[in-house]
Amino acid sequence: MNIIYNIFTNSLNLGLIYALLGIGVYIAYRVLDIADLGAEGVFPLGGAITVLMIVLGVPPVVAVLIAFIAGGVMGLLTGVLHTKLRIPSLLAGIITMVMCVPLAQLLNGITNSFQSYSQPGDFVGSVTVINMSTIFTFFRGLIGEWGYIVASVIVIGLIITLLYWFFGTELGITIRATGKNKIMSRAQGINTDSRVIMGLMISNAIVAMSGSLFSQFMLTSNSTFGQGTIVIALASILLGEALMFFKKSNFAISLLGVFAGSFVYQLIINLAMRLLNDNGYLKLIQAILFILILCIPLFKKNYANMKKKIKSRRDAHA
């Protein structure tokens, strides 16, 4: 029972943090219809900024907000590269990702210099601060290990509420319209370039916030934390859509579906980690799981067609 409890709580912890990542990617992928790979660099950058700020004595909540703003700046960069310089969105995201990784390493080097492990200006892949005060510290002191979950729920609840409100405003609706049909939006007088830039700024800001929470959870900033995050985010989005059975027009439920998908994905991965000791098998399971998730829409379509055929045959015999 203790093992099951640990698997559940660990899956819930990581599921909540990665749900925030999934929500950020959801805005780019589903709302704007843009494949933004910049998330793989913005995620560790958000963590590196947060750890440095906390080491400098900045309150954790403020450090998270600074990471949020920094993520927005990187989203601005991706948006400008895509809309103003006409670089394809996929390539623009890769450029941003490549820029973020050394920036995260540079910030890690500065953090390390405060612990007398290196000189300022060194590029350091990973830095750990064991006695770091985090956004989870207060709640952990009140209710123990569940403090991580409560703090993450509060952050995600706040983000979902703000996003639901924002995308219901006139500006938010124009961003969603731009993602649905850019040509029609231009015909309605909407500046689609500015809307794409705004959407990518919001997307990357939330991704950086997720990286901030993850680094505080791990008490570590690592420039490799972003590897595979886009796969985790997309798996959470697609799995959530398959699990929730909601109308896609319901924006708030769509965001909650990302959390459901993220939790189930982390639960499967944690179970696999308990059963398998070799990390190579785990990577193989992740790949197979992602393929199955990508096939879910096809399975649902075939199932719906089969039900229609059965119904039509019954009607014909009636």
d(CA 41, CA 74): 9
Q: Residue 203: which pLDDT band, with cuts at 50, 70 and 90?
A: very high
d(CA 144, CA 80): 44
Encode pLDDT of 119-137 as tens digits. Answer: 777 888 899 888 888 999 9
Encode pLDDT of 29-83 as tens digits. Answer: 999 999 899 999 999 999 999 999 999 999 999 999 999 999 999 999 999 999 9
pLDDT for the residue 144: 83
Q: Residue 105: which pLDDT band, with cuts at 50, 70 and 90?
A: very high
pLDDT for the residue 253: 84
Q: Residue 26: which pLDDT band, with cuts at 50, 70 and 90?
A: very high
* Burial of 301: CB neighbours in 10 Å, binned 0-12, 13-18, 19+: exposed
pLDDT for the residue 152: 92
Question: Do residues 109 and 122 touch, judged by C-beta distance below 8 A?
Answer: yes
Higher pLDDT, 53 or 303: 53
Other C-beta atoms within 10 Å of 101: how many? 20
**What percent of the residues of the chain are helix, what percent strand, and what percent coil, each to the nearest 5?**
80, 0, 20
* pLDDT (mean) for 162-177: 94
pLDDT for the residue 176: 93
Higher pLDDT, 286 or 230: 230
* pLDDT (mean) for 114-121: 74
Q: Residue 309: which pLDDT band, with cuts at 50, 70 and 90?
A: confident
* pLDDT (mean) for 205-217: 96
How far, CA to CA in Å, does 287 sit from each of 280, 292, 293?
11, 9, 10
Virtual torsion, Cα 101, 103, 106, 108, nearest 10 deg: -70
What rounded mean pLDDT belongs to the chain? 88
Q: Residue 108: which pLDDT band, with cuts at 50, 70 and 90?
A: very high
Q: Residue 277: which pLDDT band, with cuts at 50, 70 and 90?
A: low
Q: Residue 283: which pLDDT band, with cuts at 50, 70 and 90?
A: confident
Encode pLDDT of 125-169 as tens digits. Answer: 899 888 888 999 988 888 888 889 999 999 999 999 999 999 999
d(CA 51, CA 64): 10
pLDDT for the residue 296: 78
Token pair belonging to 299: 């399975």
* 106 pLDDT higher than 80: yes
Q: Residue 301: which pLDDT band, with cuts at 50, 70 and 90?
A: confident
Question: Do residues 88 and 82 touch, judged by C-beta distance below 8 A?
Answer: yes
pLDDT for the residue 5: 79
pLDDT for the residue 318: 61
Higher pLDDT, 276 or 70: 70
* pLDDT (mean) for 230-257: 79
Q: Which of 171, 180, 150, 218 is nearest to 9 (CA)?
A: 150
Q: Which of 22, 13, 12, 16 is nearest to 207 (CA)?
A: 22
* pLDDT (mean) for 165-180: 94
Domain positions in the chain: 2-123+134-227
Token pair belonging to 293: 């998730």
pLDDT for the residue 81: 96
Q: Is the dihedral of CA 232, 236, 239, 241 positive or negative?
A: negative
d(CA 275, CA 8): 15
d(CA 98, CA 87): 15
* pLDDT (mean) for 21-34: 94
How far, CA to CA in Å, does 245 sit from each of 108, 152, 180, 191?
43, 25, 21, 34
* 249 pLDDT higher than 60: no
Virtual torsion, Cα 20, 236, 78, 40, nearest 10 deg: 90
Write b or e for each residue in 206-232: b if 16 or more Cβ atoms lie within 10 A of its Cβ, otherwise e.
Answer: bbbbbbbbbbbbeebbbbebbeebbbb
d(CA 24, CA 7): 25
